[in-house]
Amino acid sequence: MNSASVTAFPRRTPPAILVVEDDAVARALVSDALRAHGFKVLEASSAADAVTVLDSMRVDLLFVDVHVPGPRDGLDVARYVQARGTPTQVILTSGQSAASAIPDLAGLGLFIRKPYLISRVIDLISASLNWPDAPKT
């Protein structure tokens, strides 16, 4: 079959997204909005918690703040995902660093600067996962 004629169909099960953000309010805002759009959302407030989640279940997309506190940061989590070789998309975010200041960003994933519009995050995640807009309830 010619690959040019293959039609991409949307996924039938909601993708799992891991939101890693130490700011509880920001994490809740993003997580709640993603759930409202039909995604399965997991949350972590630190890199260590994120790695625990990644080791225990399948995650389709990692949305991670570069500067989570602790001995490991969001870049370490993104590199951990990359080293595992799992088909996990990565979107990094930061309010402290510009994309140009983050080492190896191009090889780790997409970047969105804080403050961001929640609608922009949803659009970026939906496009990354080939997920259609969920009906608003």
Residue-wise pLDDT tens digits, 20-63: 999 999 999 999 999 999 999 999 999 999 999 999 999 999 99
Q: 37: which residues sit within 8 A by CB, 6+ positions away? A: 122, 126, 131, 133, 134
In the structure, what pLDDT confidence band is assigned to residue 13 with cuts at 50, 70 and 90?
Answer: confident
The structural domain count of the chain equals 1
Check pLDDT > 90 for residue 131: no
pLDDT at position 12: 64
The whole-model pTM stands at: 0.86
Measure the CA–CA gap between 104 and 70, rounded to whole angstroms.
Answer: 21
Q: Which two tokens stand for residue 84?
A: 């595992």
Q: Tell whether the model's pLDDT for residue 9 goes beyond 90.
A: no
Specify if 10 maps to a domain. no
Check residue 10 and give its pLDDT: 54
Backbone angles phi, psi at 91, to 5 degrees: -125, 120
- Whether residue 123 is contained in a domain is answered as yes
Buried b (16+ CB within 10 A) or exposed e, 92-131: bbbeebeeeebeebeebbbbbeeeeeeeebbebbbebbeb
pLDDT level of residue 136 (50, 70, 90 thresholds): very low
Residue 122 located in a structural domain: yes
pLDDT in tens, 72-99: 999 999 999 999 988 999 999 998 877 7
Range of the domain at 112: 15-129
136 found inside a domain: no
Instruction: Work out the pLDDT band at 133, boundaries 50, 70, 90.
Output: low
The confidence score (pLDDT) of residue 2 equals 45
The CATH number assigned to the domain holding 67 equals 3.40.50.2300
Distance between CA atoms of residues 135 and 30, nearest Å = 17
